[in-house]
Structure 1
Amino acid sequence: MSSSQTAVKVESLSPKETWISIGIIGMLFFIFGFVSWVNAILIPYFKIAFTLSNLDSYLVAFAFYISYLVMSVPASYLLRAVGFKKGMMYGFFAMALGAYIFVPAAMTRTYELFLLGLFTLGSGLAVLQTAANPYVTILGPKESAAQRISIMGIFNKGAGILAPILFAAVVLRVGDSELFQQLDQMSPEARDAALTELIQRVITPYAVVGTVLLALGIFVRFSPLPEIDTEHESAEVAEANSGKSSIFQFPHLVLGAIAIFLHVGTQVIAIDTVIPYANSFGISLLDAKVFPSFTLAFTILGYLVGISLIPKVISQVNVLRICTLLGTALTLLIVFSSGPIRFLGMTVDISILFVVLLGLANSLVWAGIWPLALDGLGRFTKLGASIMIMGLCGNAIMPMVYGYFADLYSVKMAYWVLFPCYLYLVYYALHGHKIRKWKIA
C-alpha cells in the first residue's frame, strides 16, 4: 500500500480521533443509503415510464447490485494499493460518473443506458462499501462492533427514508395519478410524449447528485480520516493463520458471505417490492410511496435497540438469532394473512404491514454477521471484506427471483422466496459462524 508510512494501528487512535472517524464514515453510510434506497421508487417509476413487466422493472436492482459481484475483489486490491482514503475518493468519482450517465439516458429515454448508469453507480459504491464496512468493524472492540455498525445503519436507513420521499417530491406531480390511469387510452404519439416528459424529470436531480458526489470524493481524500493498518496481525492471530494461504480457508467467512447475500436479498425485497405490492391492492403510487420509509423507520428502531443493549444487556450474536427468527415468522404471516386494516388514513391489507415490519427483523442482521465473519482474519481482512461485499449481489439476484415468481404466480405468493433465506440466516446465527475448519468426509 502506498500509504503504508502513514497507516496507524487502531489502538493508537485517541477517543476524539475515533469519533471523528465514526462521523466521517457515518456520512459515507448516509450516501450509501440515499443512492441505494432511491431504487425503491425508481423501480415502479421506470416500470411506468418504460411500460415494463415486474421482472424487467427489477433490472434496476439487478444492474445496480450486480456490480458488487464484479467489482468487490478488484476494490480490495485497489484499497491495498492506494489505501482507504484514495480508494474512497475513486469510489465517489465512479458514482458521480454513474449519476451523470442518467442525463443522456433521460434525454434519449433509453432504459439500457439507465441500467449502465446504475451499474456504474453500484461499482463506485462497491469500492466505498469494501472500505467502509471493515473500517468501522475494526474501529474499536469487536464485542461492540454491532453497536458501531448500528450507528452506521441509522445514517444509512435515515437516508433511505428521505430518498424515496425526496425523489417523489422532485419528479412526481399532483396530477400524475390521473396521468398514469389515462396512459392506455392515449394515442401512441401523445403517450410517447407524456412518458418522455416523465422520464426527463430525473435530469436535474441526478446532475446535482453527480456534482455532490464529486465534491465528496475530494473531501474524503483530504479529510482527517486516519489510514488504519489492517495488514499486521497480533501474535495470536498470526499463529492461528500461519498455515493459511487462501481466503477460502476461513469457513465462517465464506458462510458469512452467503448469509450477507441472502440477508441483503431479503432486505431489498422488503423495501423495493412494498410499493408494487401495495399497488396490487389498488393503492396508488403517490400514496404507496411512504411504505419504504416506514420499513426503514422500523429498521432504525432496531438499530436504536441495538445501540442501547449491545453488548451490555445482550450479545450481538443473540440479537442476530432473534432477528432471523422474527424474519422467518413474518414471512409466514405475509403469505398466510389477509384482511383490511386502517393505516395512515388508508385501508390496507394487513399483510402489507407485515412486509413493513420486515424492516425490524432485518435491522441487526448485517451488524451481527460482519463481526462474526471477519473475526480472526488478520492480514486477510481487506480481501475478506471484499468477499463479504460480493454478497451484496444478493440485492441484484433476489429481486429478480421475486419478480419471476410474481409474474408466474402473484406478488403475494412470491414472498415465499424469503422463507429459505431466513432459515439459512437462523443456521448461521446458531451454528455457521462457529465453524473454523472445513470438515472433509
Structure 2
Amino acid sequence: MNSKNKLSIALLTSLFFFWGFIHNLDPILIPHLRNAFNLSHLQSSFIDSSVYVAYFFMAIPAGIIMRKAGYKNGIISGLLLFGIGCFLFVPAANSISYPFFLTALFIVACGLTTLETAANPYVAVLGDPEKGPQRLNFAQSFNGLAAFLAPIIGGKFILTNHVITPEELSKLSDTARRLYIQSETSTVKMPYVILGIIILILAAVFYFVKLPSINQNNSNTNNIFQALKIKNVKSAITAQFFYIGAQVCILSFIVVFATEVVKINSDNAPKYAGYAGLAFLLGRFFGTFLMRFFNATKLLIYFSLIAFLLTIYIVTGQGITTLFAIIGVAFCMSIMYPTIFALGIQGAGNETESVSSLIVMSIVGGAVLPPLLGWISDKTGIFQWGYVVPAFCFLIVLIFAIKNRNYTLRENKIGGH
C-alpha cells in the first residue's frame, strides 16, 4: 500500500471514531436533559429518535450525493452538517429549548448518515481488495474505542453534581427554575463546540488532501426498491431494524438504568456506559477472531440467544447483576450489525449499493423502538420492565440467524455500528 492510501485510510478511520463518539454521548445527554427539562422516559427517548430518524430520511439522498458529487465531496458535506449541528447546541442551550436540542441532533445525524454512506465502501475498496474486510474491522475498532471513551468524557464535562428532583424543581419560582435549567443546559455547550471545531478542521483537511479515486458500482435500475426482490433482503432489513432498536435501548439508557434501578451515584453511573462500550469493542475483536474458525451465522445464533436471555434477566432480576447483564448484552451485540448487513447484501451483485442504502434506512429502528421502552416504563412505573422491548428485538434477530444458519459469508463488506 502506497503512502497516499495510508494517509487516506488514516483520515477515513478517524471518521469511524468521531461518529462513534457523538453517538455514545447520547447516554449522557438523555439523563442530563431529562433532569434539566423534567422529562418523562418517553420524552427523553426522543433524543435517540431525533438521531436515528435521520438515517431513514438521509440514506437515499446520501447515496445520490455519492453518485453525483463523488465520495470526497460527500465526506466533506457530511462533516459540514456534523459540525453545524454541534454548533447549534449553543443557541439550543441559550434558548432553553428541548425541541431545539432535538433539531441540532437531527442535523448532526444527517451528517453522520452521509459520512457512513461514504466511508464504509471507501475503506472497503481502497487498497488491496483481499484486505478490505481487515481494513474495515480495523476502522470499526475505533468506533468501539469511541463507545468506551465518550460516556466517560461526556459524563465528566456534561453531568453536574447539583441535580434536583422534579418535586424540588416544581417548588422553585419561575425565575429560579429558569436559572437552574439554564445552568444545566449550559454544560452541554463546551464539549459540542470543541467537537464542532475539530470536525470543521477535519473537513478542511479532507478538502485539501487528494484522495485516491475508486470505481463506483452503479445499480442496474434507478428504482432502489427493486432490490427488495433479491432473496434475504427483506428479512435482513427487518432484522437490522430490530437490532438497531435493541442496541439503542441497551446503550442509550444505561446511565438512567444505573441511577434509577441499581441506585448508583450519578457521578459513577457514566463509567458503566464506558464499560458497556468497552465490552462492545472487545466483543467485536473476539467475534472477529472466532469467525476464523466458525460460521458467522452460527455465531449470530449463539450471540443473539445469549443477548435474549440476559435481557430477560434485566427485566426480572435485581441489584447490580442486572447492570452487569446489560454490559454482557453489549458484548453480544458487537457482531450483530455487520453480520446481518453481510447476509443482506449476499448475492446482491450490482444491486449492492441499493441494498446497502435500504439496510442503512432500517437504522430508523433506533428512532422507533426506544420510545416504546420509555412508554412502557412510564406506564408501569418500573423502568426495567421497558426492557421487554430489546428482549423481543433479540428474539427477532435470533429467528433471522436460525433461518440463515446454512449461509456462508464470502466476504464481510460491512460498516460500523
- Give the structure-1-normalised TM-score: 0.83
Deviation string 1:354-400 (CA, Å, 9 cap, x unpaired) is 11211111011112122222223333232222111111111111111
Aligned to 1:213: 199
Q: How does 1:189-204 map to 2 (within 5 A)?
A: 189-204=175-190
One-letter amino acid of the counterpart of residue 395, structure 1? G
Rounded Cα–Cα distance in structure 2 between residues aligned with 1:93 and 1:199? 24
1:426 to 384, 398, 410: 398
1:266 to 231, 246, 268: 246
Identity %: 28
**CA-atom RMSD, angstroms?**
2.8
Does 2:305 match 1:325?
yes
Does 2:72 match 1:72?
no
The answer as to whether partners of 1:21 and 1:225 remain within 8 angstroms in 2 is yes
Aligned to 1:99: 86
User: Which region of structure 1 is more displaced relative to structure 2, 111-120 or 379-388?
Assistant: 379-388
Rounded Cα–Cα distance in structure 2 between residues aligned with 1:245 and 1:386? 10
Rounded Cα–Cα distance in structure 2 between residues aligned with 1:276 and 1:34? 19
The answer as to whether partners of 1:252 and 1:434 remain within 8 angstroms in 2 is no
| Structure-2 change in CA distance of 1:408 and 1:146 (3 Å) | farther
One-letter amino acid of the counterpart of residue 213, structure 2? E
Aligned to 1:355: 326
Does 2:384 match 1:412?
yes
Unaligned runs of 5+ in 1: 1-13, 341-348, 436-441
| Structure-2 change in CA distance of 1:426 and 1:280 (3 Å) | same
1:401 to 340, 359, 372: 372
Aligned to 1:278: 258
Rounded Cα–Cα distance in structure 2 between residues aligned with 1:158 and 1:78? 29
The answer as to whether partners of 1:274 and 1:356 remain within 8 angstroms in 2 is no
Aligned to 1:176: 162
Deviation string 1:309-362 (CA, Å, 9 cap, x unpaired) is 333x22332322222122112112222322x4xxxxxxxx31121112111110
Q: How does 1:57-68 map to 2 (within 5 A)?
A: 57-68=44-55
Rounded Cα–Cα distance in structure 2 between residues aligned with 1:214 and 1:431? 45
| Structure-2 change in CA distance of 1:245 and 1:406 (3 Å) | closer
The answer as to whether partners of 2:84 and 2:108 remain within 8 angstroms in 1 is yes
**What displacement does 1:224 show?**
5.2
Rounded Cα–Cα distance in structure 2 between residues aligned with 1:316 and 1:83? 33
The answer as to whether partners of 2:250 and 2:390 remain within 8 angstroms in 1 is no
Q: How does 1:370-385 map to 2 (within 5 A)?
A: 370-385=341-356
One-letter amino acid of the counterpart of residue 195, structure 1? I
Rounded Cα–Cα distance in structure 1 between residues aligned with 2:16 and 2:157? 23
Rounded Cα–Cα distance in structure 1 between residues aligned with 2:132 and 2:316? 36
One-letter amino acid of the counterpart of residue 322, structure 1? Y
The answer as to whether partners of 2:83 and 2:197 remain within 8 angstroms in 1 is yes
- Give the structure-2-normalised TM-score: 0.88
Rounded Cα–Cα distance in structure 2 between residues aligned with 1:199 and 1:211? 20
Aligned to 2:413: none
Rounded Cα–Cα distance in structure 2 between residues aligned with 1:38 and 1:280? 19
User: Which region of structure 1 is more displaced relative to structure 2, 377-386 or 36-45?
Assistant: 377-386
User: Which region of structure 1 is more displaced relative to structure 2, 267-276 or 315-324?
Assistant: 315-324
Rounded Cα–Cα distance in structure 1 between residues aligned with 2:390 and 2:351? 31
One-letter amino acid of the counterpart of residue 332, structure 1? I
**What displacement does 1:308 show?**
2.9
Number of residue-to-residue matches in the alignment: 403
One-letter amino acid of the counterpart of residue 381, structure 1? T
Unaligned runs of 5+ in 2: 408-417
One-letter amino acid of the counterpart of residue 333, structure 1? Y
